[in-house]
Structure 1
Amino acid sequence: MFKIFEINEGVYLHYYKTGKFKTNTTAVLISAEMKAENAAKTALAAQVMKSGARKYPSQRAMAVKLEEMNGAVFDVSIIKKGNRQLIYIFFESVAGTFNDGADFIKEVIFYPVHLSGSGFSKAKDRLIYEIKSVKDNKSEYALERMAEEMENGAYSIPGLGYAEEAAALKPQMMKRFYSSLLTTGIIDVYFVGSEDVNTVRKKYESLFGRTRCNIKRIAEQSLKPKFKEAKTVKEEQGLNQGKLCMCYSTGEEASKENILSILVLNEIIGGSGGSLLFSKVREKEGLCYSIGSTVNKHKMLMVIEAGIDKNDRSKVTGIIKKSIEEIKSGITEEEVLKAKENISKNYDSVFDTPASIINYGFTMRLLGITDTPKEFAEEIKAVTVKEVKEMAEKLKCETEYFLV
């Protein structure tokens, strides 16, 4: 799908040519290993990048330059995938502004101006505010707290790190960390657009041509069951609507075959409005405001989320657990077929936007899967009832977290 070039040691260009869009889109993803002691540093590096650069020393100056490039779009964020914490630099501009756009990205990455001084303090304050404000989004907060209660390495570390770690960061410490990140971290550059491949390659070879060494390649690990019995946690905040999160582990490696099976299983259990849990808990019993499940492919986990009345916890968890056991004892051909059809349709929309093309490409690369969206959809259609049932039998409730 993408043409891949190693343009420097540990720096990879992923090129996808298309004339479908009126824009050229570049995403630069800088990988850091997810560690408690470094999570806030990586998140602060992202804040510093979008605060100002040598030629554009303020966010206002950046905005002016973006407007000069016919309203180009730029953002820097943090995403968490498996054992990786990633700085995600997104840039999109109309065709014909590729060189200016690449130069803008160069400034942002290599010439930040707020690794010290008042700009550093402001960037740190913004990060601390973002970390603390997660508590205001109860659904996001509940998921983060559930993961923390899992006590399971990288999975349990918040994506932005900890406020107390961020507060302790000093300019000299950050400068050393930032330099090391750019020298040793894996960097993936994704390009989607109509610009000639040789033009794009030469430009980014020049941009990322700096000396690199001791490249840190991050190994992925599945999440192994930690507790003999499910850990139950209740956190009280005086809410009327409770947030229930239940995490089920499989103990399996994130192979393509296992991922295919758990995707189909998840669709049956809680992946859509026609799922088992939606039908039983919401439509039949009327015990929730919302309910659904998602898959963490990197860790081979299934997480069930529900918004419920604070007094209905035991009823809802009882139905969920009973439904999981029923799934283990019997899955029908009809259920599997319907689930496979629903999932396969999702991959038809991958090519709708440059961002979704990049997201698909990068996610699959981390998982070691080389299938195109069409090929992956065909693989899903080939999943058998036996494979789904075997995956269901491996489900084990690790943590039950209730925020109320």
Structure 2
Amino acid sequence: MFLTTKLANGVSLHIRQTSQFKTVNFAFKFSRPLTVQDAAERAVLANVLQHSNAKFPKSAAFRSYLDDLYGTVLYFDSAKRGDLLKVLLNIETVNDEYLSKGDVLNKVIDLIKTVIFEPNFENGQFVSSIVEREKEMVKQRIESVFDDKTRYAHQRLSQILRPNHPASISANGTIETVDQITAESLTKAYQTMIDEDQIDIYVVGDVDVEAIKSQLQSALQFSDRDVKKPENPTTELKAEKEYTKETQDMKQGKLHIGYSTPIFFGDEDFPKMQVFNGIFGGYAHSKLFMNVRERESLAYYASSSYSSHYGLIYVVSGIEPSKEKKATEVIAEQLEAMKNGEISDLELAQTRAMLKNNLKEALDLARGQIDIFDQYKDFNEAFSIDTWTKRWDEVTKEDIQKVASQVKLEAIYFLCGKEDSQDANN
């Protein structure tokens, strides 16, 4: 799918030559082990790099130049995947083949070099006023979670399920860690990212592979690095509490439930867990949706997600607070049904079809191709649609029953209105 070239120790270039798109897409992924402090620093760093650099210290001039490059899109972001923290630089630009005067690609590669290696420094470090401004933006992003009760409930459940663990660390850090950032500390974080992070560079488009490889090798002078690997937890992973109820000023109740599974991303049984989650609560035909929401009318919504890097399954539902007990019981019944092998041919067929469709839809986008390859590149085999389609097709009801029997309830978190706290479940 991608042709991979090593640019330096810990730095890889992945190119996919395809006429599928009229644009050329670049993606840079800087990765390091996830910590709260690094998350805060990288979130602010992504914001700072997004808006200015040495050639374009003013955001307006930078955006105007991108517009002149036929609307080239360039943006930074930070995210986490498993126990890794990533700073992402994504670029999408027009292919010169479709222009009467084509020199956009060279200018974009030169701009990539600028935004990575030539930040907007003042006296050898980031500009303090810009750092403070972007710190406020990240803090607002962190605080906004409180206003979105579904996201807040998910965050609280994660903190209860896996305290002081990557599963419960926000990709934005905390208000406290953001507050501690200075222009000097952010400059050090930037230098660490450039010099020490694992770097994966992706190119997708109708390009001359050897030419683009040569251009990027020349423009991107990354040094060798010894990539740091995440440390394995030394303590037993278990939930802080089995049941937690909290109250806020709100109407709808948020019932979130966390389960654990010994099956992780990349394990032999991983495809079986994907099918399990699809039938359990992943899609509109799932047991949670059809029974908790449709048959029993207990929830405004009910679904599950499989966090394969952490071995966790999250069930989320929005309910009337008075229906908490009944909703909890019916959710538990759906898992028990799967443990008993109560899986229909239709549920299995629909889930396989949805998994295949989701994969095909993702691969219809250049960004989707990059993200999928980036996830699966560490497997011992090359990724292909046929391989994964075959694996899902081979999953049997007995396989699903077996993996369901390994799913363990760990924690229930219920968020409701203060006026509902006394009346709930009465």
TM-score, normalisation: structure 2:
0.89
Q: Secondary structure at the match of 1:236?
A: strand
**Structure 1 Cα separation of the partners of residues 335 and 248 of structure 2:** 29
CA gap 1:297/1:370 in 2 versus in 1, 3 angstroms: farther
**Structure 2 Cα separation of the partners of residues 125 and 46 of structure 1:** 13
Q: Contact 1:223–1:251 (CA<8 Å) still a contact in 2?
A: no
Query: What is the Cα deviation at residue 19 of structure 1?
Result: 1.1
Query: What is the Cα deviation at residue 333 of structure 1?
Result: 5.8
**Structure 2 Cα separation of the partners of residues 220 and 274 of structure 1:** 37
CA gap 1:305/1:203 in 2 versus in 1, 3 angstroms: same
Q: Deviations over 1:183-238 (max 9, x none)?
A: 110011111101111122112212332323332244678997514x9622222112
Aligned-partner residue type, residue 107 of structure 1: T
Aligned-partner residue type, residue 280 of structure 1: N
Query: What is the Cα deviation at residue 342 of structure 1?
Result: 2.5
Partner of 1:52: 52
Q: How does 1:88-127 map to 2 (within 5 A)?
A: 88-96=88-96, 97-113=104-120, 115-127=126-138
Partner of 2:249: 238
Partner of 1:392: 404
**Structure 1 Cα separation of the partners of residues 11 and 232 of structure 2:** 19
Query: What is the Cα deviation at residue 136 of structure 1?
Result: 2.0
Query: What is the Cα deviation at residue 77 of structure 1?
Result: 1.2
Partner of 2:206: 194
Q: Secondary structure at the match of 2:283?
A: coil
Query: What is the Cα deviation at residue 74 of structure 1?
Result: 1.5
Partner of 2:99: none
**Structure 2 Cα separation of the partners of residues 175 and 348 of structure 1:** 41
Q: Contact 1:51–1:123 (CA<8 Å) still a contact in 2?
A: no
CA gap 1:289/1:222 in 2 versus in 1, 3 angstroms: farther
Q: Contact 1:224–1:249 (CA<8 Å) still a contact in 2?
A: no
Aligned-partner residue type, residue 126 of structure 1: M
- Return the index of the structure with the highest Cα Rg: 2
Aligned-partner residue type, residue 118 of structure 2: Y
Aligned-partner residue type, residue 190 of structure 2: Y
Query: What is the Cα deviation at residue 91 of structure 1?
Result: 0.5
Partner of 1:180: 192
- State the 4+ residue runs in structure 1 displaced beyond 6 angstroms: 219-224
Q: Contact 2:34–2:230 (CA<8 Å) still a contact in 1?
A: no
Q: Contact 1:32–1:42 (CA<8 Å) still a contact in 2?
A: no
Q: Secondary structure at the match of 2:259?
A: strand
Q: Contact 1:223–1:249 (CA<8 Å) still a contact in 2?
A: no
Q: Contact 1:347–1:377 (CA<8 Å) still a contact in 2?
A: no
CA gap 1:221/1:264 in 2 versus in 1, 3 angstroms: farther
Query: What is the Cα deviation at residue 396 of structure 1?
Result: 1.0
Matched, 1:259 2:252: no
**Structure 2 Cα separation of the partners of residues 222 and 102 of structure 1:** 44
Partner of 1:291: 302
Q: Contact 2:259–2:409 (CA<8 Å) still a contact in 1?
A: yes
Matched, 1:25 2:25: yes
Q: Contact 1:347–1:374 (CA<8 Å) still a contact in 2?
A: no
Aligned-partner residue type, residue 98 of structure 1: L
Q: Deviations over 1:38-88 (max 9, x none)?
A: 220121111111021011112212211110100111111122110011111
Query: What is the Cα deviation at residue 166 of structure 1?
Result: 0.4
Gaps of 5+ in 1: none
Matched, 1:300 2:307: no
CA gap 1:218/1:195 in 2 versus in 1, 3 angstroms: farther
**How large is the RMSD of aligned CA atoms in angstroms?**
2.1
Query: What is the Cα deviation at residue 316 of structure 1?
Result: 0.9
**Structure 2 Cα separation of the partners of residues 329 and 317 of structure 1:** 19
**Structure 1 Cα separation of the partners of residues 366 and 51 of structure 2:** 25
Aligned-partner residue type, residue 106 of structure 1: K
TM-score, normalisation: structure 1:
0.94
CA gap 1:118/1:366 in 2 versus in 1, 3 angstroms: farther
Query: What is the Cα deviation at residue 297 of structure 1?
Result: 2.0
Same amino acid, percent of matched pairs: 27
Q: Is the deviation greater in 209-218 or in 370-379?
A: 209-218
**Structure 2 Cα separation of the partners of residues 173 and 374 of structure 1:** 47
Q: Secondary structure at the match of 2:36?
A: coil
CA gap 1:275/1:364 in 2 versus in 1, 3 angstroms: same
Q: Secondary structure at the match of 2:70?
A: coil
